[in-house]
Amino acid sequence: MTEEVQKENKMGYMPIPKLLFTMSMPMIISMLVQALYNVVDSAFVAQLNEDALTAVSMAFPVQNLMIAVSVGTGVGINALLSRSLGEKQFEQANLAAKNGLFLGIVSYVVFAVLGVLGSRQFYLIQTDDPEIVSYGTQYVFVVTVFAFGLFLAVISERLLQSTGLTIYNMYTQGLGAIINIILDPILIFGLLGFPRLEVLGAAVATVVGQICGMLLGVVFNLRKNKEININMKGFRPDKATIKRIYQVGVPSIIMQSIGSVMVFGINKILMAFTSTAVSVFGVYFKLQSFIFMPVFGLNNGMVPIIAYNYGARNKKRIMHTAWLSIGAAVAIMLVGLGIFHIFTGQLLGIFEASDEMLAIGIPALRIISLSFTFAGYGIVVGSVFQALGNGVYSLMVSVARQLVVILPVAFVLARVGGLIAVWWAFPIAEIVALVMSTILFRRIYKKKIQPLALTEETASV
């Protein structure tokens, strides 16, 4: 690595609007492709029957938990690696990358064991419907036992993001999603001479896509990522580096894992009314990914910029990035709110919605989507906390939103107002999260951002 390359990372000098756009746009595109595959996956499964759709919807907590662990670990790697580069500590950056890959492998092994031992029990806890249990057990078994593609793909993507090479993530995620979309109908319905695997086919398509994305991500890191060295020859886990990764990563893991607990709890509340309500909730999560994924892509571009400039002690670039990201996220969410209110019936129609599903789903989607108004701000601010090494703030807001508010409020509203009242728990929780995020943002600004020293050279945007 030359001294010139070490000193000229674009996150330290490129104008912020252009930098945020170039860092985020590839991720936004790739995540929109991911969202498309999520919808297509469930749309094909819904053509089998509603029980199949319910089974796949009920698998969300397991899949979300795996994503939480992989992405949360990636957030810790991202923050440490980008900050190390900003501080010109290149050996520490390499340690972050190698230990991150090690943690991805360890995490996969844990979930593979849990998948072998607990897939069927996970469904039996929620329902005694034999068809749902059968479909779901097959699906969860495959997506956990073969989840190495997911874990190593996410870690590879975070390494690329940390050094500003987000364009390659568009290719890795896009490849995985496209392969999944192609394989879905072939394996679910038994086309082109393949056996008809139904829900099992959807699971196989998912893991094959993840493995392909992983392989391409590893190749890009080896051949294109010149700022880090991920040669694992002679590797030994470094406790200090792992601790620093998890100082940011564990709060992020817990924060995202809470979503699994929330969905599991809401599914239990909804199942007391009808399994169709569970299907509607699952459909909502598939559809809302089209709105949330671009914001997550924006965040993925924002985090390394803020982390790098925090390491470089550049207050002006940090705040410019944060406010620009908040404005863009709020705009995206408002567009999503309009879509969910105007095209509600058409959105549900993608999933072969029955009359009962339409009756439940139309008011549900319109009520839950009111939370979009507040969510964009909270998502970006939470990622700013993580980029500055205060992942615990994000955790506090997430716990308040998804455990302290949503589940208790949904439980009470279910008893008081019936099924339709349950959906109001979501906008209520998002308002609480907005207030908490603002208070904590002011606190971290005074504690970490305001004191940063600036020079005329580093202050230029």
**Residue-level pLDDT at 453:** 58
CB 405 within 8 A of CB 347: no
Q: Of 115, 420, 102, give the one whose Cα is nearest residue 270.
A: 420
CB 158 within 8 A of CB 77: yes
DSSP state of 402: I
**Residue-level pLDDT at 81:** 84
Q: String of b and e for 28-63 (b: at least 16 CB within 10 Å)?
A: bbbbbbbbbbbbbbbbbbbebebbbbbbbbbbbbbb
Q: String of b and e for 312-330 (b: at least 16 CB within 10 Å)?
A: bebbebbbbbbebbbebbb
DSSP state of 220: H
Q: Along the 461 residues of the chain, how does pLDDT read in single tens digits?
A: 444 444 556 766 688 888 888 888 877 887 787 778 778 888 899 899 889 988 998 888 898 899 889 988 888 888 788 778 777 777 888 888 888 889 999 999 999 999 999 999 999 988 888 999 999 999 999 999 999 999 999 898 888 877 777 778 778 888 888 899 899 999 999 999 999 999 999 999 999 999 999 999 989 988 888 778 777 787 888 888 888 888 878 877 887 788 888 988 999 999 889 989 998 998 998 899 889 888 988 887 888 888 888 877 888 888 888 899 999 999 999 999 999 999 999 999 988 888 999 999 999 999 999 999 899 999 999 888 878 877 788 888 888 988 899 999 999 999 999 999 999 999 999 999 999 999 999 998 888 888 875 444 444 44
**Residue-level pLDDT at 131:** 92
Beta strands in 401-455 (DSSP E): none
**Residue-level pLDDT at 203:** 94
**Residue-level pLDDT at 457:** 45
**Residue-level pLDDT at 442:** 92
Q: In whole angstroms, what is the distance from residue 159 CA to residue 166 CA?
A: 9
DSSP state of 14: S
The pair of three-digit structure tokens given for residue 396, joined into one six-digit string: 């506090």
The pair of three-digit structure tokens given for residue 222, joined into one six-digit string: 């080896």
**Residue-level pLDDT at 454:** 47
**Residue-level pLDDT at 60:** 85
The pair of three-digit structure tokens given for residue 408, joined into one six-digit string: 């208790």
